[in-house]
Amino acid sequence: MPVPLPGEVLIAMRSASICGSDLHAYQKSTPRRRPPMTMGHEVSGEIAACGREVRNAAVGDRVTVLPLISCRKCQFCTSGRENLCPDRTVLGVERDGAYAEYFTVPAHLVFRLPDHLSYPEAALVEPLAVAVHAVGKLQPLPETAAIIGAGVIGLFTLSVLKIGGAKNIIAIDIDDYKLNLARQLGATLTIHLQQDDPVSRIQKNNGGVEACFEAVGLGSTLNTALHITQNGGSVVAIGMTGGKMEVDFLDVVAREVRILGTYCYTRCDFEYALNLLAAGQIDTSLFTQILPFSEAIAAFDRLANHKENLVKIVLTNVPERESNVIKAERR
């Protein structure tokens, strides 16, 4: 049983969703998580104990956790850009995380949940905050945008763009199931990357989009994003799987296309994402499957096999008194 240090809280995990980066670590395709490491950073739970000097939380509080831990003192932290803190660490990446019955975090990173928001929904605040931060890189928001990659982050980005007033949103992927989800969430056009040429189709119909959000992380999809973006437009790079990439930089310079990196989120982004979910403005039921924590290994294997229409799995670890609620959510 972990013991909370001064300023920390002990949280009984109630729901923890599986991030794509966790799956990559499970498949040993990323160096960012080194065993032995308890992963898990998309989480909600109940505070079980408080360390000394904790003032903003109490035992029994239902909470979600901002998993990015910063120094709170540097120029980035004091200006509200704690995601750029040079000493930042992430729960479940550099320190043991939430795939456990209990874990500890600094108390200032917990956010109380409204009574009507379920634990599985609250475990999705973190990935939604990634989309909120990515869309927030563009001011004003574009009226026409494309999203390459209709996974969880891509679908959340689509939803945030819709809320922000985007009129035409194009979703691009290689999976028909995910493209269908994108249409249900409001995409005005969907393109199968392996069956159609998004460059000629978008340039013909739209002359290029104002902005493209690249949520895959490969050189090929980043170049596609550049080519479908109109002169003077922006490419927001969210995906992190590709490492070094070859980019047609002459095209970038000659057409003045901006490439914007986006990493995690700020505290304001996280709070806004929580408010969106609490207000019912984001539909997560279309692409979320809820499974008990005891099936975690099987859940990772199912995601890795790519044989099922699975987008997001949320693992739950709830007391018996709450089991009926979870069963209802699974239906």
Amino acid at 277: L
Which pLDDT score is estimated for 52?
96
Span(s) in the chain for CATH 3.90.180.10: 8-128+266-330
Q: What number does CATH give the domain 8-128+266-330?
A: 3.90.180.10
Which pLDDT score is estimated for 328?
44
Distance CA 197, CA 184 (A): 22
Token duo for residue 267: 């505290």
Q: Which residues does 134 contact at the CB level (< 8 Å), separation at least 6? A: 153, 157, 213, 236, 238, 262
Q: What residues in the chain have per-residue pLDDT under 70? A: 205-206, 242, 320-331
Which pLDDT score is estimated for 276?
98
Distance CA 243, CA 106 (A): 31
What is the number of other CB atoms lying within 10 angstroms of the CB of residue 59?
Answer: 12
pTM greater than 0.85 (yes/no): yes
Q: Is 26 exposed, middle or buried (CB count within 10 Å of its CB: 0-12, 13-18, 19+)?
A: middle
Distance CA 36, CA 51 (A): 25
**For 142-184, how does the pLDDT look when each residue is reduced to its tens digit (9 = 90+)?**
999 999 999 999 999 999 999 999 999 999 999 999 999 999 9
Angle between helices 125-135 and 152-164 (to 10 degrees): 60
Which pLDDT score is estimated for 330?
42
**For 229-276, how does the pLDDT look when each residue is reduced to its tens digit (9 = 90+)?**
999 999 999 998 767 888 888 889 999 999 999 999 999 999 999 999
Of 126, 81, 95, 63, nearest in space to 54 by CA = 63
Which pLDDT score is estimated for 251?
85
What is the number of other CB atoms lying within 10 angstroms of the CB of residue 176?
Answer: 12
Q: Is 310 exposed, middle or buried (CB count within 10 Å of its CB: 0-12, 13-18, 19+)?
A: middle
Distances (CA, A) of 159 to 163, 210, 239: 6, 17, 18
Give yes or no for a contact between 131 and 124, defined as CB atoms under 8 angstroms apart. Answer: no
Cis-peptide into 140, omega within 30 deg: yes
Q: What number does CATH give the domain 138-261?
A: 3.40.50.720
Which pLDDT score is estimated for 106?
97
Which pLDDT score is estimated for 320?
55
Which pLDDT score is estimated for 53?
94
Which pLDDT score is estimated for 322?
53
Token duo for residue 149: 């990659």
Which pLDDT score is estimated for 241?
72
Span(s) in the chain for CATH 3.40.50.720: 138-261
Number of H helices, E strands in the chain: 12, 15
3-state SS assignment for residue 122: helix
The helix (run of H) or strand (run of E) holding residue 236 is strand 229-237
What is the number of other CB atoms lying within 10 angstroms of the CB of residue 52?
Answer: 9
Which pLDDT score is estimated for 32?
78
Which pLDDT score is estimated for 70?
97
